Structure 1
Amino acid sequence: MVTRFLILLMALWLLPLPAPAQNRAKVERQFQNWLQQEIWPEAKAAGVSRKTFKSAFSGVALDWDLPDLVPPGSTPQVPRQQRQAEFGVPAKYFNRGGLNGATSTGRQMLQRHADTLARVEAKTGVPGRIVIAIWGRESAHGRAKIPHNVFRVLGTKAFMSTRADYFSQELIAALQIAQAGHVQASTMKSSWAGALGQPQFMPSSFLKYAADGTGDGRADIWGSEADTLMSIGHFLAEHGWQKGRDWGFEVKVPASVSCSLEGPDQGRSIADWEALGITRVSGRPFPAAERPGQGFLMMPAGRYGPAFIVTPNFYVLKDYNKSDLYALFVGHVGDRIQYGVGDFTAPWQGLDKLYRSEVAAMQRGLEALDHDVGGADGLVGFKTRRSIGLWQESQGKEPRCFPDSSIKSLTSN
Structure 2
Amino acid sequence: MRIVIVFLALLAGLAPALAQGNVEAGFRPFLESEIWPQARAQGVSRATFEAALGRVRPNLRLPDLVMPGQGAPVAENQHQAEFQSPASYFAENQVAGLASRGRRLLQEHAAVIARIEQRYGVPGPIIVAVWGRESAFGSASIPHDAFEVLATKAYLARRKEMFRAELVAALRIVEEGHLRPSEMKSSWAGALGQPQFMPTKFLELAVDFDGDGRKDIWNSVPDTLASIANYLADAGWVARRDWGFEANVPASVSCALEGPDRGRPIADFVSAGVARVSGRPFPPHEARATGHLLMPAGRFGPAFIATPNFYVIKAYNNSDLYALFIGHVADRMRGAGPFAGGWASSDRMTRGDVARMQERMVSAGYDVGGVDGLAGFKTRRSIGQVEERAGLAATCWPNRAAAGRLG
TM-score range, shorter chain: over 0.9
Is 1:337 equivalent to 2:333 in the alignment?
Answer: yes
Structure 1 length as normaliser, TM-score? Answer: 0.95
The answer to whether the 8 Å contact 2:290/2:307 transfers is: yes
> Would you say the 8 A contact 2:294–2:306 is kept in 1?
yes
| 2-structure distance, mates of 1:369, 1:65 | 38
Deviation at 1:10, TM superposition (A): 6.2
Cα drift, residue 12 of structure 1: 8.0
Cα deviation for residue 404 of structure 1 reads 1.7
- The amino acid that maps onto 1:353 is R
Describe the SS at the equivalent of 1:349. Answer: coil
State which of 290, 295, 298 in structure 2 corresponds to 1:302.
298
Asked if 1:84 corresponds to 2:80, the answer is yes
Mapped to 2, the partners of 1:72 and 1:10 lie a distance apart of 26
- Assess, with a 3 A threshold, how the Cα gap between structure 1 residues 257 and 36 changes in structure 2: closer, same or farther: same
TM-score, normalised with respect to structure 2? 0.97
Q: What is the distance in 2 between the residues matched to 1:343 and 1:120?
A: 28
Residue aligning to 1:398:
393
Deviation at 1:40, TM superposition (A): 0.5
Paired with 2:10 and 2:33, the residues of 1 have a C-alpha distance of: 37
1:348 to 343, 349, 358: 343
The DSSP-based 3-state class of the residue aligned with 1:256 is coil
Residue 96 (structure 1) shift: 1.9
> 1:275-286, aligned counterparts within 5 Å?
275-286=271-282
- 2:96/2:332 contact within 8 Å kept: no
Q: Does 1:408 align with 2:403?
A: yes
Alignment-derived partner of residue 374 in structure 1: 369
Q: Give the distance between the partners of 2:376 and 2:83, measured in 1 at CA.
A: 8
What SS does the corresponding residue of 2:12 show, helix, strand or coil? coil
Q: C-alpha separation between the residues in 2 aligned to 1:88 and 1:383? A: 18
Which amino acid in the other structure matches residue 323 of structure 2?
A
Q: What is the match of residue 137 of structure 1? A: 133
User: Partner of 1:33 in structure 2?
Assistant: 29
Match for residue 187 of structure 1 among 177, 180, 183: 183
Pair 14,324 (structure 1): closer, same or farther in 2 beyond 3 Å: closer
Deviates more, 1:221-230 or 1:10-19: 10-19
Deviation at 1:286, TM superposition (A): 0.3
User: Equivalences for 1:132-171 in 2 at 5 Å?
Assistant: 132-171=128-167
Letter in 2 for 1:388: I
Task: Look up the equivalent residue of 2:367 and give its one-letter code.
Answer: D
* Deviations 1:109-168 (CA, angstroms, capped at 9, x unpaired): 111110110011000011111111000000000000001011111111111111111111
* 8 Å Cα contact 1:388-1:401 kept in structure 2: yes
- Residue 32 of structure 1 aligns to a residue whose secondary structure is helix
Q: Which amino acid counterpart does residue 295 of structure 2 have in structure 1?
A: M
Q: Say if 2:379 is the partner of 1:387.
A: no
Structure 1 SS opposite 2:291: strand
* Alpha-carbon contact 1:248-1:314 (below 8 Å) kept: yes
Aligned length: 406
Q: 1:261 aligns with which of 257, 263, 281?
A: 257
In structure 2, list runs of 5 or more residues that go unmatched.
none
Distance in 1 (alpha carbons) for counterparts of 2:172 and 2:359: 40
Shift of residue 72, structure 1, vs aligned partner: 1.4
CA contact (8 A) 2:131 2:195 kept: yes
Does structure 2 conserve the Cα–Cα contact (< 8 Å) formed by 1:270 and 1:290? yes
Task: Quickly say closer, same or farther: Cα 1:387–1:13, change in 2 above 3 A.
Answer: closer
Q: Give the distance between the partners of 1:368 and 1:68, measured in 2 at CA.
A: 27
**In the alignment, which of 170, 189, 208 is matched to residue 174 of structure 1?**
170
Measured at CA, do residues 328 and 14 of structure 1 come closer, stay the same or move farther in structure 2, by a change above 3 Å? closer
- The match for 2:318 among 315, 322, 328 is 322
| Aligned counterpart in structure 2 of residue 19 of structure 1, from 15, 18, 31 | 15
- Identify which of 88, 96, 101 aligns with 1:100: 96
Contact conserved, 2:386 with 2:402, CA < 8 A, in 1?
Answer: no
- Structure 1 contact 260–401 (Cα < 8 Å) conserved: yes
Checking the alignment, whether the CA contact within 8 Å between 1:263 and 1:296 is kept in structure 2 is yes
**Per-residue deviation at 1:21?**
2.5
The SS at the match of 2:286 is: coil
Instruction: Give 1:215 shift.
Output: 2.0
Quote the Cα distance in structure 1 between the aligned partners of 2:68 and 2:108. Answer: 50
Please state how far the C-alpha of 1:409 moved relative to its aligned partner.
2.3
In 1: Cα distance, 2:66 partner to 2:296 partner = 30
Q: C-alpha separation between the residues in 2 aligned to 1:224 and 1:254? A: 47
Equivalent residue number for residue 358 of structure 1: 353
How many angstroms apart in 2 are the aligned matches of 1:409 and 1:49? 59
Q: CA deviation at 1:7?
A: 8.5
1:222 aligns with 2:201: no
Residue aligned with 1:325, SS: helix
Give me the whole-angstrom Cα distance separating, in 2, the residues matched to 1:14 and 1:207.
Answer: 49
Report what 2:41 is aligned to. 45
Give SS of 1:16's match. Answer: helix
Aligned partners of 1:314 and 1:328 also within 8 Å: yes
Question: 1: CA distance between counterparts of 2:91 and 2:379?
Answer: 24
Q: Hey, what does 1:3 align to over in structure 2?
A: none
Structure 1 SS opposite 2:299: helix
Task: Tell which deviates more after alignment, 383-392 or 62-71.
Answer: 62-71
What amino acid does structure 2 have at the position aligned with 1:311?
Answer: T
Provide structure 1 residue ranges, at least 5 long, that are not aligned to the other structure. Answer: 1-5
Alpha-carbon distance between aligned partners in 2 of 1:67 and 1:399, rounded to the nearest angstrom: 35
RMSD across aligned positions (CA) = 1.7
Are the aligned partners of 1:116 and 1:213 in contact in 2 as well (CA < 8 Å)?
no
Q: Partner of 1:58 in structure 2?
A: 54
SS at 2:296's partner residue? Answer: coil
Displacement of 1:16: 3.5
Letter in 2 for 1:47: G
What secondary structure sits across from 2:339 in the alignment? coil
